[in-house]
Chain A
Amino acid sequence: MIEISKLNAWFDDNHVLKDVDISVPTNGSFGLVGESGSGKSTVLRTITGLVDDWEGNILVNNKELGPKRDKTFYRLVQMVFQDPFGSLHPRHTIDRILTEPVNIHGLGNSDARVVEALNQVGLDNAFRFRYPHQLSGGQRQRVAIARALILEPKILLLDEPTSALDVSIQAEVLNLLGRLRRELGLTYVMVSHDLAVVAHMCDDIAIMNHGRIVERATATQLADGTLEHPYSQQLYKAAGGYDRAVVDSFVDWD
């Protein structure tokens, strides 16, 4: 579904992605893990057209992407952002937030589509005419997912979709995402700093550091802890909680 090869990207003189290769099969779920500045979000932003200065090949649904994305691309690919506070318009009702993409793409029948999208993410119809500030963080993130789903895309790009949420709410949203992928046959590319979240959600995982993929692993390899690159081993150990001896073994990867 997604084939990326030799992807490089720059912010001015800053070379932020270095020869990134990714391949995601249809209905697959691919996870990108790394720390701040590793370039994991930039991969998603480049796919979705938010980065101007890039080189390489991006094939989505067997079509090569150029510098511009057209409407058909966004029917196919939608992105969910990290912060549901920042990604929903504070002065638009949920109804308007969900109707807007339907109108832009001229799909029609927006009333039924909004009801269905809310239903898909497990929100009651009562939320339809509320404003974002009247919703909790978890409910807001459900609205952001509903907005992405309303165009019936085949691919969701998920940029830290649960890192702003409490763990109990995170579990609910992760379950929702898992169910949607099974029921709608979606393909996911998910970015997270949390190794456990990615291991839970994804079959294939790439660990990034300073714009490069340092290691690829399957969920099974993560479960066994058989990572090879010292950077990934360090991330793996850090996910295990505080241990004074482990901290002393850390190396800076600047």
Chain B
Amino acid sequence: MSNETLLSVKNLEVTFNTPKGDVHAVRGVSFDLGRERLGIVGESGSGKSQTGRAILGLTAANGKITADQLQFHDVDLANLSPKQWRKVRGARISMIMQDPKYSLNPVMTIGDQIIEAYREHHKVGAKEARRRALEMLEAVKIRDPERVFNAYPHEASGGMGQRVMIAMMLIPDPELIIADEPTSALDVTVQLQVMAILDDLVRDRGMALIFISHDLQLVSSFCDRVLVMYQGHVVEELRASELHNAKHPYTKGLLNCLPKMDGDHSDLPILEREASWAEG
């Protein structure tokens, strides 16, 4: 892992203008990302997904992003025109969403969708694009790439759909992948298999990964570093291997309230929230 900084986020704020007043979803999040795997963990409404979306400029129209710095290599992500965004999204930073059922185009074959992603950023002929797409399907461990290439998304299982998403997002060879709960809709064993594919590809290609999830335990077994978010703030940042030494009461509370396979049926500790955590 090199120390070179790929992405630098300083004091990121995302605010949504709603009929009921402003909703402050992300409040002053800062982090630097090298070629590493960073986990962002939090519960619903903690701002973890909005942090990921803001980096890619995918915040909804009623949202406002401000940041002291939002620098990706030489690109200032805070002031990009739509045309400049198209050169970054997919090609240099791409995103894997939670549910392949909703993020794949239902009326286009899987092969055509992967080819579309590739040719958007690489000027190659149809034959070459097809060859690359089949190679990519093989890389995500799909056993019969030809069949899946010609299939429609509804013909694929959840795990296969998510592998297709990974293939599509990785084929333009981006430098940074943002994965927003990429495996939460999958069965545990399939979830781990998909993560292993992501793990290998990210490692082999030297990509950086931001892995957004609600599952603290899973993230820390997979990532190098973890940010724990609560109500828009990063309340704790720690090395994944140091999870058991977490200091913040919220992080500890999240770990303690998980049921364990210890044969103990007594009540689980309840997470008592304190107002001061949200002030940060």
Which residues of A line the B interface, CB within 8 A?
Answer: 35-36, 137, 166-168, 170-172, 174-175, 178-179, 193-197, 199-201, 203, 219-220, 222-225, 234-235, 238-239, 241-244, 246-248, 250
- A sample of 5 inter-chain contacts (CB < 8 A) reads A200-B259, A222-B261, A242-B218, A242-B222, A250-B189
Nearest Cβ on chain A to B220's Cβ, whole angstroms: 8
* CB closest chain-B residue, reference A222: B261
Across-interface contacts of B43 in A (CB, < 8 A): 166-168
* CB closest chain-B residue, reference A243: B221
Judged by a CB distance under 8 angstroms, whether B187 is at the interface is yes
Determine which of A223, A238, A248 lies in contact with B262 in the assembled complex, contact meaning CB atoms within 8 Å: A223
Contact (A238, B258) CB under 8 Å given A166-B43, A219-B265? no
Contact B187 A35, beta carbon cutoff 8 Å: yes
* Other A-B pairs, 7, CB within 8 Å; known A168-B270, A199-B263, A244-B196: A171-B257, A171-B259, A175-B267, A178-B267, A199-B261, A225-B261, A241-B217
In whole angstroms, how far apart are the Cα atoms of A219 and B260 in the complex? 11
Across-interface contacts of A247 in B (CB, < 8 A): 192-193, 195-196
Contact B188 A239, beta carbon cutoff 8 Å: yes
Contact B254 A238, beta carbon cutoff 8 Å: no
Contact A239 B261, beta carbon cutoff 8 Å: yes
Across-interface contacts of B216 in A (CB, < 8 A): 167
Contact B192 A35, beta carbon cutoff 8 Å: no
Contact (A167, B263) CB under 8 Å given A175-B270, A242-B192, A242-B222? no
Determine which of B188, B221, B222 lies in contact with A235 in the assembled complex, contact meaning CB atoms within 8 Å: B188
> Which 7 pairs from chain A and chain B are nearest by CB?
A223-B263, A241-B221, A200-B259, A171-B257, A35-B187, A168-B271, A171-B268
Interface size on B, residues (CB 8 A): 36
Judged by a CB distance under 8 angstroms, whether B264 is at the interface is yes
- CB-CB contacts of B180-203 with A at 8 A, as 1s and 0s? 000000011111110110010000
Contact B195 A242, beta carbon cutoff 8 Å: yes
Determine which of B188, B196, B220, B263 lies in contact with A220 in the assembled complex, contact meaning CB atoms within 8 Å: B263
Contact A200 B268, beta carbon cutoff 8 Å: yes
In whole angstroms, how far apart are the Cα atoms of A91 and B224 in the complex? 46
Judged by a CB distance under 8 angstroms, whether B253 is at the interface is yes
Across-interface contacts of A168 in B (CB, < 8 A): 43, 253-254, 257, 270-271
Judged by a CB distance under 8 angstroms, whether B206 is at the interface is no
Across-interface contacts of B259 in A (CB, < 8 A): 170-171, 174, 194, 196-197, 199-201
Which residues of B line the A interface, CB within 8 A?
Answer: 43-44, 158, 187-193, 195-196, 199, 214, 216-218, 220-222, 253-254, 257-265, 267-271
Across-interface contacts of A175 in B (CB, < 8 A): 267-268, 270
Across-interface contacts of B193 in A (CB, < 8 A): 247, 250
In whole angstroms, how far apart are the Cα atoms of A225 and B263 in the complex? 11
Centre residue among A171, A196, A199 by max chain B CB count within 10 A: A171
Determine which of B188, B218, B254 lies in contact with A193 in the assembled complex, contact meaning CB atoms within 8 Å: B188
In whole angstroms, how far apart are the Cα atoms of A166 and B46 in the complex? 11
Contact B254 A167, beta carbon cutoff 8 Å: yes
Contact B221 A167, beta carbon cutoff 8 Å: no
Across-interface contacts of A36 in B (CB, < 8 A): 158, 187
Nearest Cβ on chain A to B69's Cβ, whole angstroms: 31
In whole angstroms, how far apart are the Cα atoms of A250 and B261 in the complex? 21
Across-interface contacts of B192 in A (CB, < 8 A): 238, 242, 246-247, 250
Nearest Cβ on chain B to A70's Cβ, whole angstroms: 34
Nearest Cβ on chain B to A220's Cβ, whole angstroms: 5
Contact A35 B188, beta carbon cutoff 8 Å: yes
* CB closest chain-B residue, reference A240: B221
Contact B261 A195, beta carbon cutoff 8 Å: yes
* CB closest chain-A residue, reference B259: A200
In whole angstroms, how far apart are the Cα atoms of A224 and B264 in the complex? 12
Nearest Cβ on chain B to A207's Cβ, whole angstroms: 13
Nearest Cβ on chain B to A84's Cβ, whole angstroms: 13
Contact (A167, B189) CB under 8 Å given A175-B270, A220-B263? no
Contact A172 B254, beta carbon cutoff 8 Å: no
Nearest Cβ on chain A to B38's Cβ, whole angstroms: 15
Across-interface contacts of B271 in A (CB, < 8 A): 168, 171
Contact B187 A193, beta carbon cutoff 8 Å: yes
In whole angstroms, how far apart are the Cα atoms of A36 and B222 in the complex? 24
Across-interface contacts of B214 in A (CB, < 8 A): 166-167
In whole angstroms, how far apart are the Cα atoms of A194 and B191 in the complex? 13
